[in-house]
């Protein structure tokens, strides 16, 4: 793609964009009284305008039906978990019975590790990328300790080669091979939150299986961003959150994926609750846990209906837009941002993009090191209405999302960035 640094070029791309109209389906925040250029969907996705109606509907059901809402009509709360499955299956590349929306991400990863991290004397190590999201670091550390092991000798952290910012797939694979029989689990991000690197989930999973380990992924930054094929890639388990690229509202419900081959494995240890129990028998209120088929068997508690309503508002938009279409636009949109940043930084080298250049190795987010001016530049462009994300000591993360960002957003951002650098860098 040949890009141009001009407003008319950006407007032309918007005019040709078949997904451009989805922008109007979202509320944009204001910064200093002006509609923001919002590049922070990697942290909190925007609110679909329809979310209010979806929530209002469940509030009326609650008002009008009260307890009868559990079994009333098509959207009876007793079965409400089923509603999000078709969209989640598309977004994650899964069968419907392999996914279910429940809890929050950090809760789910613990629950999944209860089933899938079963260290033995010989096989106990966990491979994770160095600098994983803090919640993931705490989860792994405490799981390891829970099994009476020492994190220092159990967690194997993968670091980029000296002078590089991201991991090479070949290095990940060779570490998996090296750990061999001592490796119990690979537990990595799908897309790394800091660098924006999209890992080769399929290759990593295959390598883990070849040494007899399981592979699980935290897809917080990948779900709704990259095209995923969890079933075909043979991933053992995964979890994600819905409030980043899935636009479902602050702290809203997470989801899990458990591969079909575990669908009928009641012997797998798990921490159970009544909502994971055979739903035909649930109200017998009897002893003896019998897990439901598939991912549903990992549920603990009855569904958070209001949360699921907001989630569904966004999932319906995803289904309408299509994840493959979104991805196609995303590559072009992020490519445009990359081009403009490189033009602006030029030979001065003030900005350095650390996210991989190859679109197959990234989602929509670009992470940049800013070598001069630092936070003052970031604050300046915030003042002019750009919402991005700052990470100490000098990383700016920008995530133009294909659902609601335009090429014009990217162009206008670039102009503001240019001015901010002139002022402070
Ligand atoms: C956002 C994010 C989380 C957040 O966890 P919650 O349980 O939703 O608070 C965890 N892990 C990663 C990698 C994330 O990006």
pLDDT recorded at residue 175: 98
Give the mean model confidence (pLDDT) for residues 78-104.
97
395 lies in some domain: yes
Q: What is the pLDDT of residues 240-288, one digit of tens each?
A: 999 999 999 999 999 999 999 999 999 999 999 999 999 988 888 889 9
The rounded Å distance from CA 13 to ligand 1 centre is 33
Atom 2 in ligand 1: residue holding the nearest Cα: 220
* 1 against 181, higher pLDDT: 181
Looking at the 3D structure of the chain, how many domains does it have?
A: 2
**Ligand 1 centroid, distance to 251 Cα (angstroms):** 10
29 in the same domain as 142: no
Report residues whose beta carbon is within 6 angstroms of any ligand 1 atom. 104-106, 133, 135-136, 189, 193, 218, 220-221, 241
Atom 8, ligand 1: which residue's CA is nearest? 105
List Cβ neighbours of 344 (8 Å cut-off, separation of 6 or more): 351, 414, 417, 418, 421
What CA–CA distance (Å, rounded) separates 293 from 206? Answer: 25
Confirm whether 251 is domain-assigned. Answer: yes
Q: C-alpha angle with apex 362: 359 to 363, nearest 5 degrees?
A: 105
Give the domain CATH number at 335.
3.90.1150.10
Does residue 150 sit in the same domain as residue 298?
yes
Q: Is the pLDDT of residue 43 over 90?
A: yes
Q: Is 340 annotated as a binding residue?
A: no
Do both 229 and 361 map to the same domain?
no
Nearest ligand 1 atom, CA 133: 13
91 pLDDT exceeds 90? yes
Q: pTM score, two decimals? A: 0.97
Q: Is 70 annotated as a binding residue?
A: no
Min mean pLDDT across 15-19, 71-75, 199-203 is at: 71-75
Is 69 part of any domain? no
* Average pLDDT over the chain, rounded to an integer: 96
The pair of structure tokens assigned to 390 is 């700052």
Domain that holds residue 332: 7-47+324-424
| 105 marked among binding-site residues | yes
Mark whether 378 and 366 lie in a shared domain.
yes
- In the numeric block, the tokens 């530049």 are attached to 377
The residue among 287, 320, 353 that closes a domain is: 320
Q: Is residue 339 predicted with pLDDT exceeding 90?
A: yes
356-367 CB burial, b ≥16 within 10 A, e <16: beebebbbbbbb
pLDDT, tens only, 387-424? 999 999 999 999 999 999 999 999 999 999 999 999 98
**Scanning the structure block, which residue is given the tokens 């964009």?**
17
pLDDT at 377 over 90: yes
Give me the percent of the chain exceeding a pLDDT of 90. 95
Q: Are residues 30 and 99 in the same domain?
A: no
CATH of residue 136's domain is: 3.40.640.10
CA of 153 to the centre of ligand 1 (A): 25
pLDDT reading at 164 higher than 90: yes
CA angle 216, 221, 225 (to 5 degrees): 110
52: in domain: no
Q: Which of 244, 240, 237, 243 is nearest to 268 (CA)?
A: 237
pLDDT tens-digit readout, 113-122:
999 999 999 9
């Amino acid at each position: 793609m040949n890009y141009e640094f001009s407003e008319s070029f950006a407007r032309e791309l918007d005019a040709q964009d078949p997904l451009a109209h989805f922008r109007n389906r979202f509320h944009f925040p204001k910064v200093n009284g002006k509609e923001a250029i919002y590049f922070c969907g990697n942290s909190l996705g925007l609110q679909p305008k329809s979310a209010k109606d979806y929530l209002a509907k469940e509030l009326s059901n609650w008002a009008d039906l009260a307890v009868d809402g559990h079994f009333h009509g098509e959207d009876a709360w007793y079965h409400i978990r089923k509603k999000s499955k078709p969209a989640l299956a598309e977004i994650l590349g899964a069968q419907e019975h392999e996914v279910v929306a429940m809890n929050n991400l950090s809760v789910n990863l613990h629950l999944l590790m209860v089933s899938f991290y079963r260290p033995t004397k010989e096989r106990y190590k966990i491979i994770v990328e160095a600098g994983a999201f803090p919640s993931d670091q705490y989860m792994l550390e405490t799981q390891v300790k829970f099994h009476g092991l020492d994190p220092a000798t159990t967690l194997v952290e993968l670091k980029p080669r000296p002078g590089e910012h991201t991991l090479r797939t070949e290095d990940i694979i060779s570490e998996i091979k090296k750990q061999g029989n001592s490796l119990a689990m690979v537990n990595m991000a799908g897309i790394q939150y800091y660098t924006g690197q999209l890992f080769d989930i399929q290759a990593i999973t295959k390598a883990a299986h070849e040494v007899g380990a399981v592979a699980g992924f935290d897809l917080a930054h990948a779900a709704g961003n990259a095209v995923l094929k969890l079933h075909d890639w043979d991933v053992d388990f995964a979890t994600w959150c819905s409030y980043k690229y899935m636009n479902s509202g602050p702290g809203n419900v997470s989801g899990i994926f458990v591969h079909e081959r575990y669908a009928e494995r009641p012997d797998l240890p798990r921490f159970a609750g009544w909502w994971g129990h055979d739903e035909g028998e649930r109200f017998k209120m009897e002893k003896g846990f019998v897990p439901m088929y598939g991912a549903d068997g990992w549920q603990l508690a009855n569904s958070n209906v209001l949360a699921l309503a907001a989630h569904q508002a966004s999932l319906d938009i995803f289904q309408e837009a299509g994840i493959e279409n979104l991805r196609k636009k995303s590559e072009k949109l992020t490519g445009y941002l990359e081009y403009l940043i490189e033009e602006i930084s030029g030979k001065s080298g003030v900005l350095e993009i650390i996210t991989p250049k190859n679109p197959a190795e990234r989602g929509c987010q670009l992470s940049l090191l800013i070598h001069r001016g630092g936070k003052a530049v970031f604050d300046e462009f915030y003042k002019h209405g750009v919402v991005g994300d700052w990470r100490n000591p000098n990383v700016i993360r920008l995530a133009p999302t294909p659902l609601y960002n335009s090429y014009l957003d990217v162009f206008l951002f670039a102009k503001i960035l240019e001015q901010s650098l002139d002022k402070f860098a």
